[in-house]
Structure 1
């Protein structure tokens, strides 16, 4: 088994651990991957996710997402995860920059990125921009659930506009 295949296999195992709530085991596997190959960016994304979502250490999560972006800028997952963290922290300038970058990544789900733009604009009270991006999210999906969520979000923004 070659070096990369072994690392991908360990990453899969760490993913399974995360899904099963075995966070310490996942962390150990990810740290092992990084010690074998410090340039294996995907491991930093998964570690970032653990620190953000499971350990609520946002600063450490952000550092790990940045390392992933630096080492594996074409890995779509880091854009979704890091976008949610930046949104949570209200770091809208960095978020917009990240989303602009994400739109050029092969394999990225554009409807998801449009939805993240929309959430960002809605949180900032820029409701027209939010509606426009929810519309783009809806138009760029084949998933009925995503489409329904986009329509619901547009209705919510229209209701908010009535409050002004």
Structure 2
């Protein structure tokens, strides 16, 4: 078995542990992967996700996401995960920069990135920009649930505008 295949298999094992709620086991696998190959960027994304979502250690999660971006800038998953963290931390300048890069990454779901822009603008009270990006999210998807979510998000923004 070649090196890359072995790393992908270990990543699959870590994902299975995460899915089964065994976060410490997943973390141990991912830490071992870093020892084996510190340049395999996907590892840092998955470990960052654990620190952000499961351990609530946002700074550690952010550091790991940055390492993933540095080592695997063409890996779409990092953009989704890191965007959510930056949004949670209200780091809008960094988030906009990340999304501006993400929208041009091959394999990225544009509807998801437009939705992240929209959330960012909505959180900042920039409701017109939010509405425009929710529309783009809906237009760039063939998934009915994404389109429905975009429509309801637009309605929410219009409701908020009435409050101002």
Q: Does TM, normalized by the shorter one, top 0.5?
A: yes
Question: Quick one: distance in 1 between partners of 2:11 and 2:32?
Answer: 10
In the other structure, the counterpart of 1:18 is 18
- C-alpha distance in structure 2 between counterparts of 1:115 and 1:140, whole Å: 10
Q: 1:158 offset after TM fit, Å?
A: 0.3
Aligned to 2:65: 65
Unaligned stretches of 5+ residues in structure 2: none
Unpaired segments ≥5 residues, structure 1? none
Match of residue 156 from structure 1: 156
**When the two structures are superposed, what TM-score results if normalisation uses the length of structure 1?**
1.00
Deviations 1:86-145 (A, max 9, x none): 000000000000000001100000000000000000000000000000000000000000
Please name the residue that 2:96 is paired with.
96
TM-score by length of 2: 1.00
Q: CA deviation at 1:24?
A: 0.6
Whole-angstrom distance in 1 between the partners of 2:145 and 2:13? 29
Root-mean-square deviation (Å): 0.3
Task: Please name the residue that 1:28 is paired with.
Answer: 28
Q: Secondary structure at the match of 1:31?
A: helix
- Which residue number in structure 1 is paired with residue 55 of structure 2? 55
The correspondence of residues 103-142 of structure 1 with structure 2, limited to 5 A, is 103-142=103-142
Deviations 1:9-54 (CA, angstroms, capped at 9, x unpaired): 0000000100100001100110111100000000000000000000
